[in-house]
């Protein structure tokens, strides 16, 4: 499959702050590609550069063979953007909104009417087409928002967090719409989200983005496989390197490492640290990367019990993108 | 076409916003009604049932007999009310149309009359004075001055003959009735040919203006037109802010439309709204005020000129909207800046206080705001009855302000946020 999108070392700086630190990836024609990362990771900035909303500080990209710097007008014609915000005019009807965005992409007359009717069908809003957007539910507004990005039939659609604040039913509607567009029309999609289950459900491949960098990029299956059979977090009263080594050697355990403790909180303003600094009260936590979660839990608990090591907490994480992200960054996606 | 689509969409949104429509079209009319009524009560000259005589200001620098005689004769004539003025009051009295003209009696007037040496009276009409009334004043003064000349010269010659007879009583036959009558006729002719009292009428500052009875209430219509058209400029700023807030601006920037088309599309609705606003206000000024029994705006005097000013005014207001949008980052900043700048500029530029009064207090400071030039152009055309050729400077200045606002607006405009 030829690539519809090739991103090469994109950088966006605001003064000294580097929002995007050299991102590179490619998306194949007909692929649904995920950009997964927490808020502030640089996903929206990346999409904004690719859609011509903001200029990159450095780096480039080609969309459908067109350079985003040199052929911006061609790039804009073949791409569609569904922003994270409800970028609609609330006092106008859904149809009027779609007519307007269609005209902005050069559509008019019969062609415009057909396209608007078509996208209303895609998002299942034909019967509410003449309703004022302001009176719609959050989910319906989201669907009109998507329709507005589709009206000119882009080859590559950028969906930026399209399900923020919608109910599960509307979320399913949106999923179905995206899958239908991809399956029936071969539309390529770049889907950004901080909901790992959305990316897992919709995307063939995904890039995990954190602090302006891609920290992992692969098929969803391979990304999850990074964790093997899952992860187990065990809080214990005491631990040392010997215990960690023995845990790592247990059957079904791939690796046992000590989770770094958070630093001691700073002294309140105006008060100096005394010699009697209170130790961090949390007990040490061991992260067990398992080949098989079920078996690893049994073996680890057996070992700790056998060695009279007091267990203070236990968390079993099934292998998914959330746990992959936690594994890679030490942070949760929705922190 | 894309620009038109953006403009039509914005107009569609605007016409659904009742609050904005009230502010754009109803509020100016309410202000005009209130101020026209108030100013009319203060300064109107045409609606009173009581016949009021025009007032002639007199600055007498001479306190002699002849000056007093001249004044008493003018008062006796009864065509004018006479108001004594000091030299420093002259301009303000003329500017405020409190007197139709000012007669200056020079120092040495009485002495000149007594010695039959020529003296000059100066009549200075106000720039808004009715020339017919000024002419009437001049004729009254001329008539009195002619009588005074004749009287002075006849008395002088009789006195001269009396002196001659006193020095040579034996030659009494020389002073026969025929000789005295002949001398009197000769003096009469001389008085007509070489009047002892010359009357000079100065040319008002804007001599070419047509005669219009000034009416303070008329200035309310142009003043509030200018004020509210500029206030409409914040509609552009608010519309751009709203687009940025809801994210549709980002969507538009991502579409195949260039930045100039996009901004033009955002400016165009304000331009159209401003023109409609001016048309509504002027129509109300011309017909509505008449129906309400107030002094109507004489729009028929300069329809083409008024249209030209309206177009430039609408452009300037639209450019100002872009300037506000580029400076203000939040809704509160837009509201604050608009209130501060637009009402402040309106006050400074003569939208709330008639220009000729304002200029007495702040002088040329008013010229730093576009409101001044717009008000001046409309006042000159519709109140003073001047022509297009007379308001070229105001039009040029409005154009210059438009370019400055637009240039700064474009320079500072942030398409990325």
**What domains can you pick out in chain B, each with its CATH number?**
2-44+215-412 (no CATH), 55-201 (3.40.1710)
The verdict on a CB contact (< 8 Å) between B1 and A92 is no
CATH of domain A3-225: 3.40.50.300
The verdict on a CB contact (< 8 Å) between A87 and B12 is no
**How far is Cα of residue A26 from the mean position of the Cα atoms in its chain?**
16
**Is the ipTM here above 0.85?**
no
Q: Look up residue B170 and give its DSSP letter.
A: G
Mean pLDDT along residues A285-302: 88
Task: List the single residue in A with minimal CA-CA distance to B8.
Answer: A100
Look at residue A259 and give its three-state secondary structure. coil
Per-residue tokens: B337 = 């800046």
Which residues 17-56 of B have a C-beta within 8 angstroms of A? Answer: 17
Residue environment code for B80-113, b if the CB has 16+ CB neighbours within 10 A, otherwise e: bebeebeeebbeebbbbbebbbbbbbeeebbebb
pLDDT band at B212 (very low <50, low <70, confident <90, very high): very low
Q: Are A291 and A249 in contact (CB under 8 A)?
A: no
More confident residue, B289 or A190: A190
The verdict on a CB contact (< 8 Å) between A104 and B255 is yes
> pLDDT tens across B68-101, in order?
888 888 888 777 888 888 887 888 888 888 888 8
Distance from the B24 Cα atom to the nearest Cα atom in chain A, whole angstroms? 19
pLDDT band at B47 (very low <50, low <70, confident <90, very high): very low
Interior angle at CA A30, CA A29 and CA A34, nearest 5: 95
DSSP run (H or E) holding A33: strand A32-36
Is pLDDT at B398 greater than 80 in this prediction?
Answer: yes
Q: Which residues of A touch B (CB under 8 A)?
A: 48, 51-54, 73, 76-77, 79, 81, 83-92, 96, 100-101, 103-106, 108, 148-149
Is pLDDT at A276 greater than 60 in this prediction?
Answer: no
> pLDDT tens across B292-303, in order?
777 788 888 788
Identify from A76, A89, A92, A102 which residue to disrupt to test chain B contact, counting B C-beta atoms within 10 A and taking the largest count.
A89
Is pLDDT at A110 greater than 80 in this prediction?
Answer: yes
Which residue from A76, A88, A91 is facing B255, i.e. has the nearest CB? A76
The verdict on a CB contact (< 8 Å) between B250 and A73 is no
pLDDT band at B315 (very low <50, low <70, confident <90, very high): very high
The number of beta carbons lying within 10 Å of the beta carbon of residue A77 is: 18
Domain ranges of chain A: 3-225, 230-318
Can you give the three-state secondary structure of B116-146, one letter per residue?
A: CCCEEEEEEECCCCCHHHHHHHHHHHHHHHH
Is pLDDT at B314 greater than 80 in this prediction?
Answer: yes
Number of inter-chain CB pairs under 8 A, A vs B? 69
pLDDT band at A2 (very low <50, low <70, confident <90, very high): confident
Which residue from A53, A76, A92 is facing B256, i.e. has the nearest CB? A76
Query: B196: which residues sit within 8 A by CB, 6+ positions away?
Result: B112, B113, B116, B117, B118, B119, B145, B148, B149, B152, B153
Q: What is the pLDDT of residue B52?
A: 67
Distance from the B250 Cα atom to the nearest Cα atom in chain A, whole angstroms? 6
Q: Are B116 and B195 in contact (CB under 8 A)?
A: no
Q: What is the mean pLDDT of chain B?
A: 80
Is pLDDT at B305 greater than 80 in this prediction?
Answer: yes
The verdict on a CB contact (< 8 Å) between A89 and B248 is yes
| H helix runs in B78-130, sequence order | 90-95, 109-114
pLDDT band at B393 (very low <50, low <70, confident <90, very high): very high
Q: What is the mean pLDDT of chain A?
A: 86
How would DSSP label each residue in A136-147?
Answer: S-HHHHHHHHHH
> pLDDT tens across A149-162, in order?
999 999 999 999 88
The verdict on a CB contact (< 8 Å) between A101 and B246 is no
What fold, for A230-318?
Alpha-Beta Plaits (3.30.70)
> pLDDT tens across A24-53, in order?
999 999 999 999 888 888 999 999 999 999
Interior angle at CA A319, CA A314 and CA A324, nearest 5: 95
> pLDDT tens across A191-240, in order?
998 888 888 888 989 999 998 999 989 998 888 887 777 888 899 988 89
pLDDT band at A81 (very low <50, low <70, confident <90, very high): very high
The verdict on a CB contact (< 8 Å) between B254 and A76 is yes
């Amino acid at each position: 499959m030829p690539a519809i999108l090739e991103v090469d070392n994109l950088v966006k700086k605001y003064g000294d702050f580097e929002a995007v630190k050299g991102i590179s990836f490619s998306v194949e024609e007909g692929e649904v590609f995920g950009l997964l990362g927490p808020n502030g990771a640089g996903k929206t900035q990346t999409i904004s550069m690719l859609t011509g909303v903001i200029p990159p500080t450095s780096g480039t990209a080609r969309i459908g063979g067109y350079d985003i710097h040199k052929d911006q007008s061609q790039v804009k014609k073949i791409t569609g953007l569904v922003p994270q915000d409800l970028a609609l005019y609330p006092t106008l009807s859904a149809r009027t909104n779609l007519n307007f965005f269609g005209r902005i992409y050069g559509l008019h007359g019969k062609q415009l009417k057909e396209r608007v009717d078509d996208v209303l069908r895609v998002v299942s809003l034909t019967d509410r087409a003449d309703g004022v957007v302001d009176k719609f539910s959050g989910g319906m507004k989201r669907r009109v928002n998507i329709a507005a990005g589709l009206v000119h039939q882009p080859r590559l659609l950028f969906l930026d967090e399209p399900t923020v604040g919608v109910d599960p039913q509307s979320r399913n509607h949106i999923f179905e719409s995206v899958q239908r567009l991809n399956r029936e029309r071969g539309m390529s999609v770049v889907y950004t989200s901080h909901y790992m289950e959305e990316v897992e459900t919709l995307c063939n491949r995904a890039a995990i983005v954190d602090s302006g960098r891609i920290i992992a990029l692969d098929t969803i299956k391979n990304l999850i496989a990074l964790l093997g059979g899952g992860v187990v977090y065990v809080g214990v009263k005491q631990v040392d390197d010997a215990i960690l080594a023995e845990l790592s050697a247990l059957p079904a355990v791939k690796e046992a490492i000590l989770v770094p403790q958070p630093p001691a909180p700073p002294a309140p303003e105006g008060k100096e640290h005394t010699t009697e600094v209170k130790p961090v009260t949390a007990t040490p936590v061991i992260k067990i990367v398992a080949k098989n979660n079920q078996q690893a839990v049994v073996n680890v608990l057996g070992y700790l019990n056998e060695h009279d090591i007091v267990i203070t907490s236990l968390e079993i994480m099934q292998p998914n993108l959330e746990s992959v992200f936690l594994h890679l960054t030490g942070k949760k996606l929705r922190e | 076409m894309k620009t038109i689509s953006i403009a039509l969409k914005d107009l569609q949104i605007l016409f659904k916003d009742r609050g904005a429509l009230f502010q754009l079209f109803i509020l100016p009319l309410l202000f005009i009604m209130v101020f026209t009524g108030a100013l009319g009560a203060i300064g109107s000259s045409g609606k009173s049932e009581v016949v009021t005589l025009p007032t002639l200001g007199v600055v007498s620098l001479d306190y002699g007999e002849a000056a007093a005689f001249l004044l008493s004769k003018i008062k006796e004539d009864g065509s004018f009310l006479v108001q004594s003025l000091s030299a420093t009051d002259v301009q303000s009295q003329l500017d405020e149309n409190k007197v139709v003209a000012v007669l200056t009696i020079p120092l040495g007037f009485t002495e000149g009359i007594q010695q039959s040496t020529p003296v000059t009276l100066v009549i200075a009409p106000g720039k808004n004075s009715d020339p017919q009334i000024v002419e009437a004043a001049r004729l009254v003064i001329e008539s009195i001055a002619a009588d005074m000349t004749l009287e002075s010269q006849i008395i002088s010659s009789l006195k001269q003959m009396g002196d001659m007879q006193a020095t040579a009583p034996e030659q009494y036959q020389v002073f026969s009735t025929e000789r005295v009558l002949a001398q009197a006729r000769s003096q009469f002719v001389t008085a007509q040919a070489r009047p002892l009292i010359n009357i000079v009428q100065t040319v008002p500052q804007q001599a070419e203006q047509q005669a219009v009875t000034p009416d303070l209430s008329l200035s309310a219509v142009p003043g509030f037109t200018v004020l509210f058209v500029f206030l409409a400029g914040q509609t552009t700023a608010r519309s751009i802010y709203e687009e940025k807030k809801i994210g549709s601006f980002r969507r538009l920037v991502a579409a195949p439309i260039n930045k100039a088309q996009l901004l033009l599309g955002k400016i165009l609705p304000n331009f159209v709204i401003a023109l409609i606003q001016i048309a509504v206000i002027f129509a109300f000024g011309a017909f509505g005020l008449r129906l309400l029994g107030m002094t109507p705006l004489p729009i028929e005097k300069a329809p083409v000129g008024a249209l030209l000013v309206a177009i430039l005014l609408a452009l300037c207001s639209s450019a100002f909207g872009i300037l506000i949008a580029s400076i203000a980052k939040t809704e509160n900043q837009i509201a604050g800046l608009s209130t501060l700048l637009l009402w402040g500029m309106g006050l400074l530029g003569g939208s709330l206080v008639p220009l000729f009064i304002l200029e007495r207090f702040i002088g040329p400071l008013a010229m730093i705001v576009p409101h001044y030039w717009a008000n001046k152009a409309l006042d000159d055309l519709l109140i003073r009855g001047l022509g297009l050729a007379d308001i070229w400077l105001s039009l040029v200045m409005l154009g210059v302000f438009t370019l400055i606002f637009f240039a700064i607006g474009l320079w500072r405009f942030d398409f990325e946020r």
